[in-house]
Structure 1
Amino acid sequence: MIYQRSSQLFAEAEKVIPGGVNSPVRAFKAVGGTPIFVKSAKGAYLYDEDGNRLIDYINSWGPMVLGHAFEPVVEAVVAKAKLGTSFGMPTELETQIAALAVSMVPNIDKIRFVNSGTEACMSAIRLARGYTKRDKIIKFAGCYHGHSDSFLIQAGSGAITFGSPNSPGVTEGTAKDTLLARYNDLENVATLIEANKNEIAAIIVEPVAGNMGCIPPQKGFLEGLRQLCTDNGIQLIFDEVMTGFRLAKGGVQELYGIQADIVCFGKVIGGGLPVGAFAARSEIMNHLAPLGPVYQAGTLSGNPLAMAAGLAMLQALNNDPAIFQRLEEKTAYLAAGIDRVLKANNVVFTINRVGSMISVHFDANPVVDFQSAAKGDNDTFKKFFHGLLQEGIYIAPSAYETWFITDALTYEDLDVTIQAINTVSKTF
């Protein structure tokens, strides 16, 4: 494929944007080469500035459950834009989407909308600290909850990709209040709690990790976290920015039948527009201003365009009970096909999958946490990434990212993808 126009655009971008990108993982630093500049997208496909068509497996990092330019979402945004793009005042639309979200997700009474997943997780931590009157939090190595200072302590995704998990600019004072645990290791979490008795406000976790590849919770892990939190007066925060409204209508709480105290959302809840949200039972949410002392605010929170997109998306998911089964079946079909062709070509690999999240790790051993994810053969991944790109398949340009399946993918698209992987894996 020819990427002449993309290369020209990247050179121009580097002159005025740090690294030429507005989010680091887009820069292709982990895989080499020049980023692809997108011109448009529709359904399961991206169309770049050089006229190439790519089958898309990142789907804007998750929100495009029903495909790009999903007509009800587009129509809702266009109609709302004609009435004004921002007011800084309440609108009926905010209440409508809030009521729908609360009805879809178990164990939440109230929800507050913000502008990003980072903001949602940051606000959830502040709320948990205000509610418990404690300072420390536990997070897990390899889990990414946005770029707020509290979370850039061995974060996943882009932070790992660039070898700087402890970011400069994060103060020692902030870092000391963030305790780092191993994902899928309850004993490690219990030890941290015991060593910091009555000091921990919250445990925040990606209940299905997506920022070190897709890593499922092992049997008993989430249940154990719930019990440890209950026994020690700690708030359990599920970061469902990726998984919310994607793995099930009610997210991971529904999928595994486990109740969190606070849940963070993003991605899907905005239909692809910049949105985040956090939600909990009334007794917790009522600690937020203007009802309570925990301050959180945002001029563009509840932006009418984002609310219109999110409402259209949630309505579509809520009105289509079979959507999550279709996504499950398509992802299982893809996983089986990848497994078949990689084995036929004697490639060493492991596939992880939960619902419509999937990742391929080039290591023979189970990938259950950051340490095991980091053992994957990155040189093979680079060949895999660029080989698929030449075959018209776009996956995340980092071995530490999950793929996201969209319902817009056809089985023909999946077969094309499997055949492309077969072709590429013969070159390893």
Structure 2
Amino acid sequence: MQITKSKALFEKAKQFIPGGVNSPVRAFRAVGGDPLFIKRADGAFIYDEDENSYIELINSWGPMILGHNPPLIREAVIKAMEKGTSFGAPTAHEVEMAELIAKMVPSVEKVRMVNSGTEATMSAIRLARGYTGKDKFIKLEGHYHGHGDSFLISAGSGAITLGSPDSPGVTKGTAKDTLLAPYNNLEAIENLVAIHKGEIAALILEPVPGNMGLVTPAPGYLEGLRKICDKEGILLIFDEVMTGFRLAKGGAQEMYGVTPDLTTLGKIIGGGLPVGAYGGKKEIMDFVSPSGPVYQAGTLSGNPIAMTAGLVMLHHLDENPEVYTRLNAIGSKITTGFQATLDKLGLDYTINHVGSMYSLFFSNHAVTDFESAKKSDTVLFGKYFQAMLKRGIYLAPSQFESLFLSTALSDDLIGKIISANEESLIEIHQ
């Protein structure tokens, strides 16, 4: 396996791009070595610039539920491009997309398209403040809601990977309105609410966080948050940029039966193209300009190419519920196979798994929140990553990222993943 072209590209990239990458986790600093530069992708495989192939378990960080470059989306995008790539004006596709999201997602009555998950979460917090007339909001430790200033306080994902969860450039004035609490701890939320009674506009969280590795909600936790928010007049915001349409047609809120006031969505509604959205109750969303006083705008919002791709994806998921049966079966087969190997080798581990998302932590204790996630053996994970990569399996280059599976994984490929896992674990523990 030669990776000479990726190495040359990385050296050149470092001359013109900070760190040589356009998103920090891509730099491979948490796992060692240099990043691969990807040339193309198809189905369950990605191919680097040297044409090495890898079975890929990230799927563009979630949206590629059907695998890479599925023909139904590719053909729709090509056809849409023949009509133009951007108008900066309303289109019929935007209306169809809004109607479809409202049909599929329990919390959404109205929705506003934006250009990314980060933009969606920033806008949702602004809306919550404008609607309630309060300034503070609660976020949970290790939950990542994009790189907006207010969110880079004990953030997950790349912020953990680089060891700098509180980014320089975030002002003290911004930080003071962000209240922190650990995940899966209702008492901590109740204490914050009591201390800042009448001051909190919103509580935002990933209902199933994937940015400190995958961590699942404790029984009754999400229901408890809903009760607290109802009692105190706090808007509950679910960041479903990762989980929306992946865990179920209606996302984590459908799976767990808890309906938030606002929901943020990401690039799956663009079939993997750059896009986002936020939506919720009609009376709240009508506070957004031009209906209401809370300003938010975007020249490329509702881009016709992204809307076309997203409509094909969401219609397919809406009309084919067997997709979720297949996704869940794939997740169970892989994690069960991994567990059998880990148990056979007598290794310390925790696997958190829900549907088509999972994380393997090298840890001798349960991983239920940010603090327990940080106690995992990240050095060992780096060795595991490299061992799997050597065997043609491409994982997220950080312990603190969930993996995302696709229906492109055949039983044969699942077997290869499980075999590579066993060989890699034996190698790094010799």
Length-normalised TM-score, structure 1: 0.99
Q: 2:54, 2:202 → 1: CA distance?
A: 41
Report the alpha carbon displacement of residue 411 of structure 1 after superposing the two structures with TM.
Answer: 1.2
Matches within 5 A, 1:401-412: 401-412=401-412
Q: 2:254, 2:28 → 1: CA distance?
A: 36
SS in structure 2 of the partner of residue 137 of structure 1: strand
CA deviation digits over 1:205-246, x for unaligned, max 9? 000010011100000110010000000000000000000000
Residue type of the alignment partner of 1:306: A
Report the alpha carbon displacement of residue 346 of structure 1 after superposing the two structures with TM.
Answer: 2.2
Matches within 5 A, 1:142-291: 142-291=142-291
CA deviation digits over 1:38-77, x for unaligned, max 9? 1100011001111111000000000000010011111111
What residue number does 1:426 align with?
426
Q: 2:133, 2:76 → 1: CA distance?
A: 42
Matches within 5 A, 1:22-101: 22-101=22-101
Q: 1:380, 1:121 → 2: CA distance?
A: 33
Give the root-mean-square deviation of aligned CA atoms: 0.7
Q: 2:213, 2:413 → 1: CA distance?
A: 22
Residue type of the alignment partner of 1:412: D
Residue type of the alignment partner of 2:300: L
Quick check: 1:369 aligned with 2:352? Answer: no
Residue type of the alignment partner of 1:179: L
Q: 1:243, 1:267 → 2: CA distance?
A: 11
What residue number does 1:21 align with?
21
SS in structure 2 of the partner of residue 326 of structure 1: helix
Residue type of the alignment partner of 2:263: V
Q: 1:316, 1:44 → 2: CA distance?
A: 18
Contact 2:67 2:406 (C-alpha < 8 Å) held by counterparts: yes
Matches within 5 A, 1:331-342: 331-342=331-342
Residue type of the alignment partner of 2:83: L
Contact 1:345 1:422 (C-alpha < 8 Å) held by counterparts: no
Percent identity among equivalent residues? 56
Q: 1:358, 1:27 → 2: CA distance?
A: 22
Contact 1:202 1:235 (C-alpha < 8 Å) held by counterparts: yes
Q: 1:12, 1:345 → 2: CA distance?
A: 42
Gapped runs of 5+ residues in structure 2? none
Matches within 5 A, 1:109-124: 109-124=109-124
Report the alpha carbon displacement of residue 101 of structure 1 after superposing the two structures with TM.
Answer: 1.1
Residue type of the alignment partner of 2:400: Y
Contact 1:137 1:204 (C-alpha < 8 Å) held by counterparts: yes
SS in structure 1 of the partner of residue 101 of structure 2: helix
What residue number does 1:303 align with?
303
CA deviation digits over 1:167-216, x for unaligned, max 9? 00000000000001000000001100100000000000000010011100
SS in structure 1 of the partner of residue 40 of structure 2: strand
CA deviation digits over 1:292-316, x for unaligned, max 9? 0000000000011111111111011
Report the alpha carbon displacement of residue 267 of structure 1 after superposing the two structures with TM.
Answer: 2.5
Residue type of the alignment partner of 1:295: Y
Report the alpha carbon displacement of residue 364 of structure 1 after superposing the two structures with TM.
Answer: 1.6
Q: 1:407, 1:102 → 2: CA distance?
A: 25
Q: 2:405, 2:411 → 1: CA distance?
A: 12
Q: 2:43, 2:411 → 1: CA distance?
A: 14
Structure 1 segments of 4+ aligned residues over 6 angstroms from their partners: none
Residue type of the alignment partner of 2:77: V
Residue type of the alignment partner of 2:190: A
What residue number does 1:414 align with?
414
Quick check: 1:129 aligned with 2:144? Answer: no
Residue type of the alignment partner of 1:140: L
SS in structure 2 of the partner of residue 210 of structure 1: coil
Q: 2:350, 2:413 → 1: CA distance?
A: 22
SS in structure 2 of the partner of residue 339 of structure 1: helix
Contact 1:98 1:110 (C-alpha < 8 Å) held by counterparts: yes
Q: 1:121, 1:82 → 2: CA distance?
A: 32
Q: 1:140, 1:127 → 2: CA distance?
A: 19
What residue number does 1:359 align with?
359
Q: 1:171, 1:274 → 2: CA distance?
A: 28
Residue type of the alignment partner of 1:24: P
Gapped runs of 5+ residues in structure 1? none
Residue type of the alignment partner of 1:8: A
Q: Alignment length, in residue pairs? A: 428
CA deviation digits over 1:319-338, x for unaligned, max 9? 10111111111100100000
Q: 1:278, 1:113 → 2: CA distance?
A: 7
Contact 2:101 2:108 (C-alpha < 8 Å) held by counterparts: no
Contact 2:107 2:263 (C-alpha < 8 Å) held by counterparts: no
Report the alpha carbon displacement of residue 90 of structure 1 after superposing the two structures with TM.
Answer: 0.4
